[in-house]
Amino acid sequence: MRRQLNRQVVEIAHALLVLAVATGCRQSKEPTDAPEAIETKTGIRMVAIPEGWFEMGSDAGAPDAKPVHKVWVDAFLMDTFEVIQDEFKKYQLPDPSHFKDPRNPLEQINWTDAALYCNERSRAEDLELCYDEETWRCNFDANGYRLPTEAEWEYACRAGTSTRYSFGNNPGRLRSYAWFADNSRDRTHRVGQKKPNRWGLYDMHGNVAEWCNDFYSADYYKDSPDRNPRGPSEAKQRVLRGGAWNSHPESCRSSYRTSDPSIDDTCLASDAIGFRCVRRAPQKKVTNPNPERANMVNTNANTGFVYDDIYLEHKTTPGHPERPERLAAIVDRLKASGLYTQLLLLSPKRAATEWITMIHSPQYIERVRESCQNGTQYLDSIDGPISPKSYEAAVMAAGGVLCAIDAVMEKKVTNAFCAVRPPGHHAVEDRAMGFCIFNNIAIAAKYIQKKYKLEKILIVDWDVHHGNATQAAFYDDPSVLYFSVHQYPFYPGTGSETEKGTGQGLNYTINVPLLAGAGDDIYLNTFQEKLKPAALDFCPNFVLISAGFDAHKDDLLGSMKVTADGFAQLTRIVKEIAEKCCEGRIVSTLEGGYHLQGLADSVEAHIRALMQ
């Protein structure tokens, strides 16, 4: 659908951009210089917004703009002007605008059609599409066009300022920068007729309100990450930013937030809503790269992420719930949500036999190796299908968790999530059980104690199935507090409340068996009333999580009703314990979770909570 933009529109846009840059240069006394202006292949003018920190929100505004919090935004490109009607029709898309004029901002546009335009524009420039046109999820790693996050939008609008408006605190000056209720004559106007902000962006405070990519939540700021926040995973409305032709001055402030339900229905769309596009800033070439950091996407990350393709080589039988697609769903989601680039990627290594033998017998380890090498189809039961590379995957799964522990202890990250398989908490000393081969979490606890001389370990297991093997490994050990919340009665049959440990380990095993159907409220109450006091009294030196997500409401095996947000809240409680007792040291490793969408949702929510 590639066509040349109307020559007159290009000439006007070019003249306006020259004015924007000139204006920005005249204000060079401000702390940030005017960013570079560029022109795209299709003739659209954009501003190269630099990376940086800013204070997002306003304590003097509405409750949904509180609290003010410091946010980092990566570099990106943003349209100088709101998308105009002539540009929108260029891709043979019908113009829904009420106030017709080729150089007026497009309006009365629903969110989905705005995202569709972003894709069409990406196609015209041979860029990777950001939006999946079935789910409309955004791939933030793609180099194509998309709608801005509200953090990006506010950062660009403020342009280095912390005042109510980009030009200061005086609403009397708004007439020079925006079309709004006091001067618009009840309609939109051609873009670029008012003054730009100091970064050369026009109409940020008025003309039409602008769609952002984020779903809207009134209390999102309370728990949003401090680096590249991208909104909640789902909601009924999308965020709108910026004033419009019918807005009062208070609604034109840099921090003002609102939302609209017209996600995919033009009939619901308002003639005060438009949009502009952004795209990821082109990667700058790095000279003399450090090969040791080749796998580190973000060296300033707070949270590590362990993954390797070897985990996909543990092939199970057709239709088996514990399948390679589980990890593919997780990685795809993290990339689509933009979280992947915010994590420190940790490359796993094989766990040395000396560490595995702290939990498993040498005879069993050798039997696993030989069974995989000899083409045996099942290990110990039909629950445990194996393939030629299953042994390698299992050794690397255990090693991946140890790698995460090293990264935490070396202060490369505060916490980490390990997307590994096969899982581990059912594997006993000399036998595979329940999809598990080596008990990754139990090996990790012994590793911490022996290598780093940290005595007290808390293991939190929220898999829908009781971690029978983890319990058995530490049943008489007072140095490990094992806490499990699980469906009961259920596989593997252990985990009653009466199982509390033995000998010196008595009362260092805490089981909370729950009936089928338990949801967020019951789980959260359990963590607040039972885990938190016991854990704070124990005061661990390190926290491990057996993160099974098969208690999710849509899971194929469990019968619980936990939501992705529920898992995020459980994570925050565990984080609070770790922050009070052990400087936030947490390593979480994947156990169960077999509904791919539910698993991806839950892991995303879990990691977001770890990152906060």
Helical spans, DSSP H, in 318-389: 325-337, 353-356, 362-373
- Class of residue 166 by CB neighbours under 10 A (exposed 0-12, middle 13-18, buried 19+): buried
> Are 229 and 151 in contact, with CB atoms under 8 Å apart?
yes
Q: Which residue has the tokens 């514990």?
A: 322
Dihedral (CA of 67, 68, 70, 74) sign = positive
CB atoms within 10 A of CB 412: 16
Dihedral (CA of 573, 574, 580, 585) sign = negative
Give the active site residue among 189, 314, 425, 426. 426
- Non-local CB neighbours of 508 within 8 Å, separated by 6+ positions: 474, 477, 478, 480, 481, 482, 500, 501, 538
Cα–Cα distance between 262 and 375 in angstroms, integer? 56
Written as one letter, the residue type at 351 is A
How does DSSP classify residue 286?
A: -
Nearest C-alpha neighbor of 346 from the set 420, 290, 283? 420
> Are 535 and 506 in contact, with CB atoms under 8 Å apart?
no
> Are 552 and 594 in contact, with CB atoms under 8 Å apart?
no
Cα–Cα distance between 30 and 49 in angstroms, integer? 16
426 is catalytic: yes
Cα–Cα distance between 229 and 247 in angstroms, integer? 26
Q: Coil, helix or strand for 340?
A: helix
- Non-local CB neighbours of 370 within 8 Å, separated by 6+ positions: none
Active site residues: 426
